[in-house]
């Protein structure tokens, strides 16, 4: 009989199609070990821990979404230290399928477009639809709290002063070529994922 054979082939084909969303699809998550995840079960906050300078404590400096300008219909945010931007309109973050979101209690959710080499980690808040760039994952660390990764890297983040406002912002793969921040103020950090709010 030919029919069951065709059915088997069709089922096999469907099986492979259905299996695709189950595979971790986010850029770089796979390379960070089997326990790296592109989705967090609960909301969390981030804290920056120095990797070369002494730390005040093992949790790190709390991060918030700091201002980064606006245009008609949209506001922009970056990851800033709470110490340099003492305001917190998005008290928690969420990670869903590699997309990073700032959760607001009063306004619109902030949606992250990620970063490119040498730039801030960017967010946009708008009443229109905006899409998250699926580039983040959370990686368990044997040394302490889990770490946030971007594009498969946990070790490319720095804190740098943006100069005039003295806002200390998270930069991905910092470079001396940027006018967005003063490179000589940069120091490397990892972004620890703090849960239990």
Ligand X SMILES: *[C@@H]1O[C@H](CO)[C@@H](O)[C@H](O)[C@H]1NC(C)=O
Positions that interact with ligand X (CB under 6 A)? 33-35, 47, 49-50, 53, 55-57, 59-62, 115-118, 140, 151, 153, 156, 163, 173, 175, 182, 184-185, 187
Picking from 21, 22, 29, 25, the residue whose alpha carbon sits closest to that of residue 151 is 29
Our CB check for ligand X shows the closer of 108 and 187 to be: 187
To the nearest whole angstrom, how small is the minimum distance from the Cβ of residue 159 to ligand X? 7
| 182 beta partners | 161
Task: Please say whether the beta carbons of 101 and 111 come within 8 A.
Answer: yes
To the nearest whole angstrom, how small is the minimum distance from the Cβ of residue 16 to ligand X? 26
Which pair of structure tokens corresponds to residue 68?
A: 């980064």
Our CB check for ligand X shows the closer of 107 and 117 to be: 117
Task: Please say whether the beta carbons of 89 and 40 come within 8 A.
Answer: no
User: Shortest Cβ contact with ligand X: which residue?
Assistant: 56
Q: What share of the chain is helix, strand, coil (3-state, %, to 5)?
A: 10, 45, 45
Our CB check for ligand X shows the closer of 67 and 178 to be: 178
Our CB check for ligand X shows the closer of 115 and 193 to be: 115
């Amino acid at each position: 009989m030919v029919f069951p054979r065709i059915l088997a082939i069709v089922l096999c084909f469907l099986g492979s199609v259905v299996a695709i969303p189950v595979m971790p699809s986010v850029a770089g998550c796979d390379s960070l070990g089997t326990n790296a995840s592109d989705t967090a079960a609960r909301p969390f906050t981030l804290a920056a821990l120095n990797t070369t300078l002494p730390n005040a404590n093992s949790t790190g400096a709390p991060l918030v979404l700091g201002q980064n300008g606006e245009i008609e219909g949209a506001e922009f945010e970056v990851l800033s230290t709470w110490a340099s931007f003492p305001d917190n309109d998005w008290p928690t973050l969420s990670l869903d399928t590699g997309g990073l979101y700032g959760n607001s209690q009063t306004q619109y959710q902030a949606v992250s477009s990620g970063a490119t080499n040498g730039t801030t980690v960017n967010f946009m808040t708008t009443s229109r639809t905006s899409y998250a760039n699926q580039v983040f994952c959370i990686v368990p660390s044997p040394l302490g709290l889990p770490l946030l990764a971007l594009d498969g890297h946990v070790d490319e983040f720095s804190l740098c002063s943006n100069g005039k406002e003295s806002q200390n912002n998270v930069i991905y793969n910092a470079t001396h070529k940027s006018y967005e921040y003063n490179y000589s103020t940069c120091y490397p950090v990892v972004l620890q994922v703090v849960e239990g709010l």
